[in-house]
Chains A and B, each alone.
Chain A
Amino acid sequence: MSNPADNAKELAAAVQAAASSGEPLSIRGAGTKRFCTGDIPGTPLDVTRHRGIVSYEPTELVITARAGTPLGEIEAVLAERNQMLGFEPPHFGPGATLGGTLACGFSGPRRPYAGSVRDFVLGTEIINGRGEMLKFGGQVMKNVAGYDVSRLLVGSFGTLGVILEASLKVLPRPSREITLGFEMPAARAIETMNTWAGRPLPLSAAAHSGDTLYIRLSGTDSAVRAAHQRLGGDVLDRGSTLWMELREHTHHFFRNSEPLWRLSVPPATPPMDLPGTWLIDWGGAQRWLVTRTDAGTIQSAATACGGHAAVFGSATRANHLPAALGALISAVRSAMDPDRLLNSSL
């Protein structure tokens, strides 16, 4: 476990210095998601030393931690009290930090059923592009006092501010969790996942890989037992490993030298007619495709069914936005970081 340290003043001073010199900054955590952002030019701003859990009140279901705190440390502390991060965040490497997780906005297999990273952020403290420290939201579950800037920061890849600290809602761990396997082709799996998602079942993950549909059930003993009886299927011994491998991309599907595409589509979209190997997650809403097919074909296929597609790890820029939205997004960025000092290449 790391030594907690409050490095906020030093970080703010560094941003202020950059604001006076006009020298751009490259915000750094543990670097586990660099595959996604590429190398960002600028003076490195290391956030990992600003670390530690500031407060954790298990009875309130709220944890507040500094951005440099390793995700693993937060998860371990929560596990001691039988609690967890509901969005099941991917680490993508050792040392992954809370700040990086929020900035990149990645969520794991539980996302369609429990919510995304954004849904769990209650409040944040940040440094804007002028080196000012700002606080948004708080530690309470509901808040409509002023604009919800905290959630705007999630998934903004550090372009709106340096995240210093965040308060997250946490969830009690389900008392029972099982994974069921059903042998079936993709088309039937998509149909099944969506039929079941439309019923009040304790689903917490649904994926299809190879010729198997995997369903995870989480909840109280009796709820899981009742749902298992209703759905049938075989209980997998290595269920938790499977979801961990899908979350971290260590599953053998991801061990491939060809380009990995991520397609985000309406979940009930039937199998798409694109060559390559598929893995379907998030109950059909997130589809991974390993293929050498050209980008145009893939993107237009995704658009045709109301979704979008990008090579995983290259999707951090807001390309192809309609003019009005693009201008607005750029203006919001200017309001937060007028001189474009923060992660300027993104």
Chain B
Amino acid sequence: MMQRTFRVTCNCGHSFPVDYGIRHVDVLLECPMCRAKMKPDDAAELDERWG
């Protein structure tokens, strides 16, 4: 099914899309650029407009 997304920006500056289905799931996102792990709310930036 169509994937609704939000976008996080890592402390390294890399920005990437995340499936809104895991927005409130207890899981750490992983930056594809620096491999840092983070909760969405701990990201440097969080853009919750649905893509």
B is a partner of A: no
Chain A positions within 8 Å of B, measured between CB atoms, are none
